[in-house]
Amino acid sequence: MNRFKPLLAALLGAGMLASVSVAFSPAMVASAGGYTPSGSAVIGIQEQPATLNPIIGPAMTYTGIVDGPMMPNLFDLAQNGTLVPDLATVVPTLQNGGISKNGLTYTFHLRPNVKWSDGVPFTSQDMIETAKLMQNPHVNAVTTEGFTDIKSMSAPNKLTVVTTLYKPLASYLSTCWSNFNISIIPAHVFDTVPPSQVNYFQYNEDPVPTLGPYKFVSWTHDASIVEVANPLYWGPKPHIKKLVFQIIPDQNTLLSALQAGNINLYFGVPITQLSTVKAISGVKLYEYNQPDWEWAQLNLKNPILANVDVRRALEYAIDRSAIVKYVLKGHGTLIADSQVPGYWSYDPAIKPYPYSPTMADKLLNEAGWKMGPGGIRVKDGKQLVLTYSTTSGNVPRAETEQIIQQNLLQVGIKLNIQNYPASTFFGTILYHGQFQIAEYEAGGAADPDLRTWRADSCQAFPPDGSNYGFWCNQTVSKLLTEEESTMDITARKAIFNQIAQIEASQMPSLYYFAAQGVDATRGMNGYTPNPFVMNTFQAYNWTLSK
């Protein structure tokens, strides 16, 4: 019936429109201004999630944002990326016996007296059902990473789960059982659903029940998703009764909604709006490091880019400080490799290349590229011309390209720019290696291993990984394999530092910067951004200003 109410409004709206416009009394104006309902926080998001089922793909930031308050996991990720217990009572370690000495067996102790929002107790079966579905080939799992390494699972009792892996996997806990991108699903709902039907199951758009401080109420597609405080939540009671995730695709409208006081939280404020947002009365701005970085992968199948001197010359020739200063307005940190600030594996001792056209000149000369007519370098009768690609319609990237094009021309490299819509760029150009230099943001994972392995390992060429540049360094591949099975975090950090040094010296990709995340709140307190998880997972801390 609700579906037809708008139709009624359409038919009557035309007639009413004039009278409503004319009949706006000052009293009505005042009530329209006080828009945010009491006890509700309105969160503006740019896209709607594809699904609300946390185990179903495609992986989307917006699924995580909306699921955050409803769907916890065994462990949360702290600000520094380390694990803290949530639905489990303790983080398994070698020291507490939760991880066996050979690194293959993990024992999980689940929190007692936890109930799903429908009153059914949370038990070990929920964890086992989640893993089973993630491993099932019929399920469009958001990721199979880590789950395919599980050899067996057992539940000695209702609150204990033992998993055994095929091989030691250092990132197992954070990849499979942290709230980075998945959550636990209810076994008592899914155990009767054939795996082939999970992709189309009602729970995907109507996720009832859940385990978090909030529970699902409604989803009006492309309009809003509503959640309400879950009275059965075991942890801290939320202060705000209702959360409304309002889908607002246009960034200018999001800004206007913040200005008008129609939204309380604006995720991902673009750099271009920062000064305007800062000027809004009562707005709090949150700037934080993220485990993501902007880079340009180099296609090493291209004979020009296969030369390490040319790759290093490119990094020296690009004034990345200017990009951070002018394009990001200072909201980014230069990086030297794939271990970015925010990761525990980051080593500040490895410095980014300085901007040095002189060094670039020297390296290009050593590589045999001599300055030719028109200021373009020449080797064996061929000019040094490269093609640079990224996603079209992205203003900061377009500005970045302009700076890079000018920088490279100064050292005798002609850069042609060929951009593509995001779907074409990722689906065709990058994946099928139809590029020479491709700039995009590498989304980091909870554990630094994941992205680095996928980008650097000789075993990670497409379609088995995202090593789109086809860089193969046997030492790095060996170190990555060693790091994967090392449980001690200090030893892992040492290995990552070795990999970072090799990356910095071989420059398989051009490392640019790690941009800061920027969120804004208005009329809301208690918001704490976290670089590793969606910032909504601690929504129980949020309060509305009086």
Partner 1 sequence: MWAYIARRVLLSIPIMIGITALIFLISHSLPGGPLAMYLNLPTITHAQIEHLTIQFGLNKPLWMQYVSWLGKALHGDFGRSFVDGRPVLAVIGDRVPATLELMVTALIISYLLAFVLGVVSATRQYSAFDYTMTVLSYAGMAMPVFWLGIILILVFSVDLHWLPTFGMVTPGVPYSFLDNVKHLILPVITLVVYTLAQESRYVRSSMLEVMQQDYIRTARAKGAPERRVLYRHALRNALLPVITVMMLDFAFLISGALITETVFAWPGMGRLFFDSLQDGNYPVVVGMAVLVSLAVVVVNILTDIIYAVVDPRIQYS
Residues from 347 through 386 that contact partner 1 (CB under 8 A): none
The window from 207-215, 255-263, 304-312, 527-535 that contacts partner 1 (CB under 8 A) reads 255-263
Using CB under 8 A as the binding rule, whether residue 17 contacts partner 1 is answered as yes
The window from 238-246, 381-389, 397-405, 411-419 that contacts partner 1 (CB under 8 A) reads 238-246
CB atoms within 10 A of CB 58: 10
CB-side exposure of 462: number of CA atoms within 13 Å?
A: 14
Distance between CA 190 and CA 114 in Å, rounded? 18
Using CB under 8 A as the binding rule, whether residue 297 contacts partner 1 is answered as no
Using CB under 8 A as the binding rule, whether residue 397 contacts partner 1 is answered as no
- Minimum CB separation from partner 1 for residue 53, in Å? 10
H helix intervals, 23-80: 26-33, 61-67
Polymer length in residues for the chain? 546
Q: Under DSSP, is residue 418 helix (H, G, I), strand (E, B) or coil?
A: coil
Using CB under 8 A as the binding rule, whether residue 9 contacts partner 1 is answered as yes
- Residue at 102: amino acid letter: N
Distance between CA 77 and CA 106 in Å, rounded? 18
Distance between CA 127 and CA 132 in Å, rounded? 9
SS (H, E, C) 149-204: HEEEEEEEECCEEEEEECCCCCCHHHHHHECCCCCCCCHHHHCCCCHHHHHHCHHH
* Residue 121: DSSP 8-state: B
- Minimum CB separation from partner 1 for residue 372, in Å? 35
- Minimum CB separation from partner 1 for residue 193, in Å? 13
Using CB under 8 A as the binding rule, whether residue 395 contacts partner 1 is answered as no
Among 105, 125, 160, 253, binds partner 1 (CB under 8 A): 253
Spatial strand order in the sheet of 377-379: 370-371, 377-379, 382-383
The window from 77-85, 283-291, 330-338, 459-467 that contacts partner 1 (CB under 8 A) reads 459-467
Within 36-55, the residues that bind partner 1 by CB under 8 A are 37, 40, 42, 50-51
Among 118, 191, 250, 287, binds partner 1 (CB under 8 A): 250
Among 22, 27, 32, 349, binds partner 1 (CB under 8 A): 32
Q: Name the nearest CA neighbour of 244 among 220, 268, 212.
A: 220
**Residue with Cβ nearer partner 1 (59 or 378):** 59
Using CB under 8 A as the binding rule, whether residue 259 contacts partner 1 is answered as yes
Which x/- pattern over 211-230 shows residues binding partner 1 (rule: CB under 8 A)? Answer: ---------xxxxx-x----
**Residue with Cβ nearer partner 1 (215 or 451):** 451
- Minimum CB separation from partner 1 for residue 353, in Å? 25
Among 249, 270, 330, 368, binds partner 1 (CB under 8 A): 249
Q: How far from the centroid of its chain's Cα atoms is residue 52's Cα?
A: 16
Among 312, 320, 397, 451, binds partner 1 (CB under 8 A): 451
- Minimum CB separation from partner 1 for residue 265, in Å? 13
Using CB under 8 A as the binding rule, whether residue 183 contacts partner 1 is answered as no
Axis crossing angle, helix 308-317 with helix 395-410, rounded to the nearest 10? 110
- Minimum CB separation from partner 1 for residue 35, in Å? 6
Using CB under 8 A as the binding rule, whether residue 248 contacts partner 1 is answered as yes
Using CB under 8 A as the binding rule, whether residue 279 contacts partner 1 is answered as no
**Residue with Cβ nearer partner 1 (122 or 511):** 511
Among 123, 466, 516, 535, binds partner 1 (CB under 8 A): 466
Distance between CA 141 and CA 135 in Å, rounded? 8
Using CB under 8 A as the binding rule, whether residue 206 contacts partner 1 is answered as no
- Residue at 254: amino acid letter: L
Distance between CA 158 and CA 34 in Å, rounded? 49
Rg (CA), the chain: 26
Which tokens hold the place of 415? 């850069």
What is the greatest pairwise CA distance in the chain? 80
The answer to whether 347 touches 448, Cβ cutoff 8 Å, is no
Within 401-440, the residues that bind partner 1 by CB under 8 A are 420-424, 426-428, 430-431, 440
- Minimum CB separation from partner 1 for residue 172, in Å? 14
How many chain residues bind partner 1 (CB under 8 A)?
Answer: 85
Distance between CA 295 and CA 240 in Å, rounded? 40
- Minimum CB separation from partner 1 for residue 11, in Å? 7
Among 58, 112, 330, 368, binds partner 1 (CB under 8 A): 58
**Residue with Cβ nearer partner 1 (19 or 490):** 19
Which tokens hold the place of 262? 């129609």
Distance between CA 138 and CA 435 in Å, rounded? 33
Phi, psi of 508 (to 5 degrees): -70, -25
The window from 72-80, 112-120, 241-249, 472-480 that contacts partner 1 (CB under 8 A) reads 241-249
Distance between CA 279 and CA 522 in Å, rounded? 12
Among 300, 450, 510, 533, binds partner 1 (CB under 8 A): 450
The window from 127-135, 354-362, 445-453, 504-512 that contacts partner 1 (CB under 8 A) reads 445-453
- Helices and strands (DSSP H and E) totals, the chain: 16, 23
Using CB under 8 A as the binding rule, whether residue 65 contacts partner 1 is answered as no
Using CB under 8 A as the binding rule, whether residue 100 contacts partner 1 is answered as no
Among 61, 135, 144, 543, binds partner 1 (CB under 8 A): 144
Distance between CA 127 and CA 234 in Å, rounded? 17
Using CB under 8 A as the binding rule, whether residue 247 contacts partner 1 is answered as yes
- Residue at 452: amino acid letter: T
